[in-house]
């Protein structure tokens, strides 16, 4: 409860008296209208949640649960990352109940659900329907030929074609301004619910994460780790021998959780797989193919601002997506185009046979 406010009583009669007394106090401060204008939106939402939940019976209606879920979703959007669950613990119900109300709200627009369901029945129906969502048929996916377009130019001045589902970026690690730009870029071109996978150095992880999220367009989700079997292959930094590379996962707004198989957040690259045949800074392909085949929906559109030798472009193609990328260096650009072209030609031949 916010400081100085009297707890809301349980009984209907006590609530009526409390509201009357509360209104008189507001008038005494100046005017009721002026007082309510001064309340924060968060405090107002908390009062609405308490009022609505206080009026629920032992078997609350689905309609009221949906309304509670709407209020709670609004609160969740307004709070910084990680502060929603502590805030919910102030309320007269558990965080699990709060998540149930939010689930009811998120799926209330589905016209296919049966009428006259209880809250528990509705939740069971949603989970059952989610499990039944058919995955794309393997034989159908096998016939799709993904496309890739790599353009020469500066990603910051390039005219990107509309929106994308995924941003995959491996900026120059020492140039922090590129991470500032990526946060703004996501606000213009990443669709709501879309994901961004951004690589950076271990030592700069905290700074780069702050730069990616400071514009407010991206929300931190997770950190994936590319782990290398041979620690001796890397130069020590700050007294440590780095054996992994972080890939920060961010979303624009609420992340859309895939119903596909779960993915571990660590991928170990064996020594024999570290083969840099195309470029000295070439990244391993296998981790991104592994993650995107499980996290990203086939047919997704990728924007790759820093193509480099084309590893992320290839991983997008492997996952059944289409990719648009830019590279400022002409020699590296030719390598990326060659790798993508060869993969697409091989894929087309496999489909044709």
E-assigned strand segments in the chain: 148-152, 164-169, 190-199, 219-228, 244-251, 266-269, 301-304, 322-327
What's residue 59's pLDDT?
46
Residues 52 and 64: beta-carbon distance below 8 Å: yes
N-to-C CA span, the chain: 68
What's residue 42's pLDDT?
76
What's residue 181's pLDDT?
97
What's residue 170's pLDDT?
94
What's residue 8's pLDDT?
45
Chain Cα centroid distance, residue 129: 22
What's residue 256's pLDDT?
66
What's residue 19's pLDDT?
54
**Spans of all domains in the chain:** 40-131, 138-352
Q: In what order do the strands lie in the sheet with 322-327?
A: 148-152, 322-327, 301-304, 164-169, 190-199, 244-251, 219-228, 266-269
What's residue 279's pLDDT?
59
Q: How far apart are CA 322 and CA 313, in angstroms?
A: 9
Q: How many residues does the chain have?
A: 353
* pTM, entire model: 0.60
Which residues, in sequence order, are CB contacts of 317 under 8 Å at separation 6+? Answer: 146, 148, 323, 340, 343, 344, 347
Residue corresponding to tokens 């209907």: 12
Residues 314 and 340: beta-carbon distance below 8 Å: yes
Which CATH homologous superfamily contains domain 138-352? Vaccinia Virus protein VP39 (3.40.50.150)
Q: How far apart are CA 71 and CA 24, in angstroms?
A: 27
Tell me the average confidence (pLDDT) per consecutive run of 10 residues in the chain, 353 residues long: 45 50 49 43 78 60 79 83 80 80 71 57 59 42 66 95 95 92 96 94 93 94 89 67 90 74 82 56 86 89 94 93 94 91 85 62
Q: How far apart are CA 7 and CA 2, in angstroms?
A: 10
């Amino acid at each position: 409860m916010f400081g100085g406010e009297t707890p809301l009583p349980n009984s209907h009669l006590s609530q009526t008296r409390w509201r009357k007394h509360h209104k008189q106090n507001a008038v005494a401060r100046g005017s009721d209208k002026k007082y309510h204008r001064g309340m924060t939106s968060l405090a107002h939402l908390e009062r609405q949640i308490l009022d609505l939940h206080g009026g629920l019976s032992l078997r609350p209606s689905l309609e009221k649960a949906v309304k509670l879920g709407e209020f709670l979703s609004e609160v969740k959007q307004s709070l910084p990352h990680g502060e929603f669950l502590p805030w919910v613990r102030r309320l007269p119900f558990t965080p699990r109940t709060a998540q149930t109300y939010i689930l009811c709200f998120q799926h209330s627009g589905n016209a296919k659900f049966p009428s006259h369901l209880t809250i528990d029945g509705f939740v069971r129906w949603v989970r059952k329907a989610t499990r039944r969502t058919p995955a794309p048929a393997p034989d159908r996916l096998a016939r799709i030929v993904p496309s890739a377009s790599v353009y020469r130019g500066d990603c910051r001045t390039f005219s990107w074609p509309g929106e994308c589902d995924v941003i995959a970026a491996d900026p120059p690690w020492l140039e922090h301004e590129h991470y500032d730009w990526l946060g703004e870029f996501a606000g213009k071109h990443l669709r709501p619910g879309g994901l961004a996978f951004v690589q950076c150095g271990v030592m700069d992880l905290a700074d780069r994460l702050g730069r990616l999220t400071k514009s407010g367009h991206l929300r931190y989700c997770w950190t994936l780790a590319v782990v290398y079997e041979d620690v001796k292959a890397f130069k020590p930094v700050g007294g440590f021998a780095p054996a992994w590379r972080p890939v920060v996962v961010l979303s624009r707004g609420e992340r859309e959780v895939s119903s596909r198989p779960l993915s571990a957040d660590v991928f170990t690259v064996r020594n024999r797989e570290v083969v840099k045949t195309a470029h000295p800074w070439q990244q391993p392909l296998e981790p991104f193919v592994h993650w995107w085949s499980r996290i990203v929906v086939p047919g997704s559109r990728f924007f790759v601002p820093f193509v480099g030798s084309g590893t992320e472009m290839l991983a997008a193609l492997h996952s059944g997506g289409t990719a648009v990328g830019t590279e400022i260096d002409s020699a590296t650009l030719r390598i990326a185009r060659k790798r993508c072209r060869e993969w697409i030609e091989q894929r087309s031949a496999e489909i044709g046979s």
